[in-house]
């Protein structure tokens, strides 16, 4: 752990050794506004600001020393993981499937067809994250990057009232950013560190992760570039989640696989890049025409595969009543 002296010494990027006003301006142009974001940076990223490799190495090392990023023993990791928090989804069954809720410092991906409930869960989490810890929240705000114009303030109002929050106060703790292209989407996330720190953001949502990439990078000849940019984008997301102990949630579109005769006939966009970078993946699908949805945990670093049912009502995400299961 860094001493109180080192923490106070490096509160701003200008406080870091070898970072003067002009260098600080260049770093901010690249999206590095906080010491935490610099601690997660690579030397190559800083070189883009015209900083020499040796100097970049010194800056990053100083930021990491201030953020206490170092080698640790496995037994020390146990204590460190106690800092990881869980955010409730609103459904006890879905929370149980996820091992108690959605973890901070990791990327959780919900994917499914249109109308399966991806954006509804994202809206619910924007409300739940504001709840106190004892109610399954994180007592923080939400950053919502909207790529498909799915965010609805009316839905937040309904969900907030149901959990006992003043909608007007709930609105103040949600920061919305509309992304118009994949480049704009990447830019927003790369410049989000200051917003996250100043607004105590504990939930970062990208809804949906792949929509712009899917529409802009058409054809097999553009696939490699698309995957590379998606890879960099998701790694930026996980670095922010770890630096600020926040939940990172992405929703994802799916595509049909007509050649599949057994198992699921749909698969998420993004291929192996998204699959490997998302720590927990949940497939959502409808259960008939009603409000009931089925969530299947597809992959997790430590949780077993499984399924549960929940429902989407005017109140938000809820457990299914016994009579609805029959």
Residue 164, domain CATH: 3.40.50.300
Taking the C-alpha atoms of residue 209 and residue 251, their distance in angstroms, rounded to an integer, is 6
- For residue 107, being part of any structural domain is answered with yes
Query: 165: which 2 tokens?
Result: 């929050």
Q: How far is CA 156 from the centre of its chain?
A: 19
Q: Residue 221 burial (CB < 10 Å; 0-12/13-18/19+)?
A: exposed
Which CATH number belongs to the domain containing residue 36 in this structure?
A: 1.10.150.20
Confirm if 128 and 173 have CB atoms less than 8 A apart: no
- For residue 77, being part of any structural domain is answered with no
- For residue 308, being part of any structural domain is answered with yes
Taking the C-alpha atoms of residue 100 and residue 81, their distance in angstroms, rounded to an integer, is 14
- Residue 15 belongs to domain spanning: 4-67
- For residue 223, being part of any structural domain is answered with yes
Greater confidence, 247 or 324? Answer: 247
Same domain, 56 and 87: no
- Phi first, then psi, for residue 5 (nearest 5°) are -65, -45
Q: Give the count of domains, the chain.
A: 2
Whether residue 283 is predicted with pLDDT greater than 90 in this model: the reply is yes
Whether residue 281 is predicted with pLDDT greater than 50 in this model: the reply is yes
Residues 6+ apart with CB under 8 A from 112: 118, 254, 283, 284, 285
Q: Looking at the DSSP assignment, which residues form a beta bridge with residue 306?
A: 297
- For residue 73, being part of any structural domain is answered with no
Same domain, 124 and 227: yes
- For residue 189, being part of any structural domain is answered with yes
Q: Report pLDDT digits (tens) over 119-167.
A: 999 999 999 999 999 999 999 999 999 999 999 999 999 999 999 999 9
Same domain, 203 and 107: yes
pTM of the entire structure? 0.80
Same domain, 53 and 119: no
Same domain, 36 and 134: no
Same domain, 209 and 253: yes
């Amino acid at each position: 752990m860094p001493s109180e002296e080192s923490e106070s010494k490096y509160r701003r990027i200008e406080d870091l050794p070898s970072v003067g006003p002009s260098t600080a301006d260049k770093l901010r142009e690249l999206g590095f506004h906080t010491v935490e974001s610099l601690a997660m940076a690579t030397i190559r990223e800083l070189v883009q600001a015209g900083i020499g490799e040796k100097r970049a190495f010194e800056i990053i090392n100083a930021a990491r020393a201030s953020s206490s990023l170092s080698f640790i023993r496995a037994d020390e990791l146990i204590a460190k993981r106690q800092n990881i928090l869980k955010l409730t989804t609103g459904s006890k069954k879905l929370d149980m499937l996820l091992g108690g809720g959605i973890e901070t410092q990791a990327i959780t991906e919900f994917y499914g067809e249109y109308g399966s409930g991806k954006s509804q869960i994202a809206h619910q989490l924007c409300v739940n994250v504001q709840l106190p810890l004892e109610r399954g929240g994180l007592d923080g705000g939400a950053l919502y990057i909207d790529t498909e114009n799915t965010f609805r303030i009316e839905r937040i109002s309904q969900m907030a009232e149901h959990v006992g929050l003043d909608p007007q106060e709930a609105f103040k703790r949600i920061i919305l950013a509309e992304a118009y292209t994949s480049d704009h989407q990447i830019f927003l996330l790369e410049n989000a560190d200051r917003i996250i720190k100043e607004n105590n953001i504990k939930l970062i949502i990208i809804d949906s992760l792949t929509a712009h990439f899917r529409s802009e990078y058409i054809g097999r000849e553009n696939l490699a570039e698309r995957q590379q940019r998606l890879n960099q984008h998701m790694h930026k997301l996980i670095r922010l989640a770890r630096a600020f102990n926040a939940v990172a949630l992405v929703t994802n579109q799916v595509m049909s696989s007509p050649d599949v005769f057994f198992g699921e006939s749909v698969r998420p966009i993004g291929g192996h890049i998204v699959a490997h970078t998302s720590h927990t993946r949940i497939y959502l699908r409808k259960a008939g025409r009603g409000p009931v949805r089925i969530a299947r945990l597809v992959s997790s670093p430590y949780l077993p595969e499984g399924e549960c049912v929940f429902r989407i009502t005017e109140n938000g995400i809820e457990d299914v009543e016994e009579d609805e299961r029959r």
